[in-house]
Structure 1
Amino acid sequence: MSRKVLITGGTGLIGSRLADMLIDAGYEVALLSRQPNTGRYRSFRWDLNKGTIDEAAVRYADCIINLAGSSVSEGKWTDERKRDIMASRLGGTNLLAQELAKADHHVTAFISASAIGIYGDMDDRLVNEETAPAPADDFLADVAHQWELAAQQIEQLGIRTVIARIGIVLSTEGGALPQIARPTKLGAGAPLGSGKQYMSWIHRDDLCRLLIQMLEEPQWHGVYNAVAPNPITNKEFTETLAEVLHRPLVLPKVPAFGLKLMMGEMSEIVLASQRVSAEKVLRQGFTFEYPHLKPALEALYKEEPE
């Protein structure tokens, strides 16, 4: 029997690829979206500002994958932007919890995104799922922590709940990589800040395969780091990227104060050091297609013209 998967955030960087991979694997897919989609997928409407959701959405699904949330890497973090980043995650997850508390559905699994930002800036310390969240004065950590607490409401309803703490998702179609690669492509690439801060990354296809495995196998429950097993310093990342793009690194490091001037508080994304363990997903039996950075970048850029 073909299982039905409802995806929130299904038009985003992860959701759009995940939907295609689920279809290829024989699933039926529908999207829960602010704008009902006229594209290839069935879609249901929700309005987070009004707190409304099409009641047929949850009734449609056997499983829900919850990825909805405003991008943290687009636009400066004004107060309004920060409110939207938080509300878009909590509002959606709380709405789903409200619907799932009703009896008339057959949802057996709820997979919810979170982020490795929950750990805060940890220097070179290797962190795992047991590591305590950073204090609430760290905005990204607070967002991820509140988002996970919202998802735990669904676990309390007796529905198998899996939380994926997602690292830097590598794709040439959006997210952090095109922004990181732009100066390198122009021949002006340089490490950011000290260059010693760790980046925990995952190729987009590995992330989607991991989410599908979480969906399919009932032994997955609780919190997992969704990162490749080889985190790398920003300096090593920049050097590897320059090598793959056949570009020189000509500039010295971009100083942290310059990034803070340019990006404001959002510079946390590139300056915080997060060396995150993938041990738990490996022990659970997941196999990465791209465990190392260089082959991951080569696979992404081989499609692109020089």
Structure 2
Amino acid sequence: MMKKHIALVALVCAAGTAAMAQDQVLNIYSARHYATDEALYSNFTKATGIKLNRVDADDAGIVARLKAEGSASPADIILLVDASRLWRGEVDGLFLPIQSRVLDDAIPAQLRGKPTTNGAIPWFGFSTRARVIVYDKAHVKKEDVDTYEELGDPKNKGKLCIRSGSHPYNLSLFGAVTEHLGEAAAEQWLKGMVNNMARAPKGGDTDQIKAVASGECGVAVTNSYYLARLMRSSTPEDRTVVERVGVVFPNQASWGTHVNIAGGAVAKYSKNKANAIKFLEYLASPVAQEHFANGNNEWPAAKGVKINNPALQAMTGGSFKSETIPISVVGMNQVKVQQMLDRVGFK
């Protein structure tokens, strides 16, 4: 009888140990596929002992996978790199709203999801990237492209290069402009941009910058961190590109420059909620926020974090005015924006 009791105790202890070990692992579905983030993850594991298993995909792939897996999903943390995707994940109920004083104190209200009735937040932004305008310094005047509205002005006919209008980065920008201008004026603006294109939309943001430098376009739109990468590059080709283009943070005299965000949430069916919250709180810490700035040329989302990135400082002179409309509003506008894009023939 005593042997059976000892065996039972051993079995219970082993099960408990296994459960504890399982609790020390977080499964992350990440749209952040930046090599520089490896240090971010490894530092968390060193500090906490919690191992991180990562599944990398783009935003759309992650959302589709979560929907397909349902309650069987092993995901604990969701990391996405676009405001409209975060909003969509919130609306589709893919996130588990959480309460965290650490995150509430660190992350500004406009960079979070909509609070539930009990004050829980579905997602938090952890870094921002400005949607800036680059222009050919030899042939375009800065004052002709220092607002988003001027991208659709006839004075810039035949000069504009831009990636697909349906790309999430542009959907977010267009959703923000729609909020500022109203739907009718925004549609006319989009039509003006179509009329001003130097070529059909194609490629990514770096391709737009290089097209300006080569003379194919006079002006283009890009996320700031793509330009910062070129500015920090040591290759002669990249240095030549940077020398030929100027950069504008649009609408400094009005509503401010549009910023997109990368953010995170606890997955709806996470089995490790406490550790998942701990990871999100880590992403809001000064050490992690500095990593976003120095590792991937993004601006920190947390309040009061100073950065030491020469490219970001050179671009802005130290600071810039950003818009403050809630991300949820930008997300809600994306359906009407897509309809406008279809009507004006913006591919």
TM norm structure 2:
0.31
More helix by share: 2
Q: Which has the larger radius of gyration?
A: 2
Greater RCO structure (CA 8 Å; 6+ sep): 2
TM norm structure 1:
0.34
